[in-house]
Each structure stands twice: as structure tokens, then as C-alpha cells.
Structure 1
Amino acid sequence: MEHLVRVQNERDRRTLAWLRGYVGDAAIEAAAQRYAGPAKPYLSTVCRLLGVTAPQFDRPRPRVASATAEQSLATIRQILAARRGRRPPKSEALQRP
């Protein structure tokens, strides 16, 4: 199938494998032949021609705490705590003249 569509990376390979299982080789071939562009179509174009949306194969990135991020969060918390201390309770705020 790679001779019919552009496959540029591992994500494209996974998408093509999924697409082959989902719609079959014949449908992919027919969509690639319907494409009127000057070169092989991208997989996203083939999916659009077939009316399907490929799943996202991106791996979730692990969350890594950093000293800078922790310091920034601590500063934000201090600012918010200080603002809460200065504001009047909601009932007083509604009774403005």
C-alpha cells in the first residue's frame, strides 16, 4: 500500500495499518486513484476521501515535575491566597451602593 500513499513516519505506518483493517485495501486503492493531485496522496487525504477519521496514535507524554514549574505554581498559589484575603465576602460585594 505504501506505493499508493505517502507514508513518512511511524505514525503514518500505524494509521495505514489501521485504515487497511478498517476499510480494506480495495477502498484505499480506489481512493488513491480518485485523488487528482500531482503526487501520491497523504493519508489524511485518503481518509477524507473515504469519509473516515483516523484515531490519534500519539503517546501521552509523561508528566515530569520540574523545580521551575513547582516554584511558579507556589508563586501563583501565594498570589491567589493574597487576593482571597483582600476581597470582601460575596454577600458584602452584592450590597454595593
Structure 2
Amino acid sequence: MEHLIRVQNDYDRQVLAWLRARMGDAALQSAAGRLAGARKPYLSTICRSLGIRPPTRREFARETARTHSAVGDQYLARIRAILAAPAGAAR
């Protein structure tokens, strides 16, 4: 999708992934096609044309932190299970 839309940084990549999940590739391709002139349209222009306000950087950071916490909790639960098992059962 980056071949159709100007993506300049990690935040833009997160917004693009969010838009693809929310709107679908076909809608983004259509919007990019309508807005494309001599250059690729900016992601913010695509969002405005679709009437969508993307999550802020802070909201993306919160979601990432929740994901990291969930993964960490899974690893800790697995470690606790290994440590709680009898010595011969772990091998």
C-alpha cells in the first residue's frame, strides 16, 4: 500500500495499518486513486477525504504497552508453571 500512499515515519505506518484493518485495501486504493495527481497523496489527506480521524501517537503507545504487558504476563505464567512442576516432569 505504501506504493500508493506517502508514508514518512513509524506513526504513518501505524495509521496505515489501522486504516487497512478498519477500511480495507479496496477503499484505500480508491481514495488514493481519486487523490493522486503527479505525486502520491499524504496519509493525512487520505484520512481527511475518508472523514476519519486516526488514533493519536499516545493511543498507539498505550495499545503497544498493553500488548507488551499481555505477552510478558504469558511468559511469566509459563515460567511459574515450569518452576511449579516436579523436577522430573519439566524434562
TM superposition score category, shorter chain reference: 0.5 to 0.7
Q: TM-score, normalised by structure 2?
A: 0.61
**Aligned residue number for residue 27 of structure 1:** 27
RMSD of equivalent CA atoms: 1.5
**Aligned residue number for residue 16 of structure 2:** 16
**Aligned residue number for residue 41 of structure 1:** 41
Q: Which structure: larger Rg? A: 1
3-state SS of the aligned residue for 1:7?
coil
Letter in 2 for 1:27: A
2:37 and 2:43 map into 1 onto residues whose CA distance is 13
Matching of residues 1-97 of structure 1 within 5 Å: 1-58=1-58, 59=61
Q: How many residues align?
A: 60
Unaligned runs of 5+ in 2: 63-91
Residue 39 of structure 1, CA deviation: 0.5
Query: Quick one: percent identity of the two aligned structures?
Result: 58
2:20 and 2:43 map into 1 onto residues whose CA distance is 11
Q: Is the helix fraction higher in 1 or 2?
A: 2
- Which portions of structure 1, spanning 4 or more consecutive aligned residues, are displaced by more than 4 angstroms? none
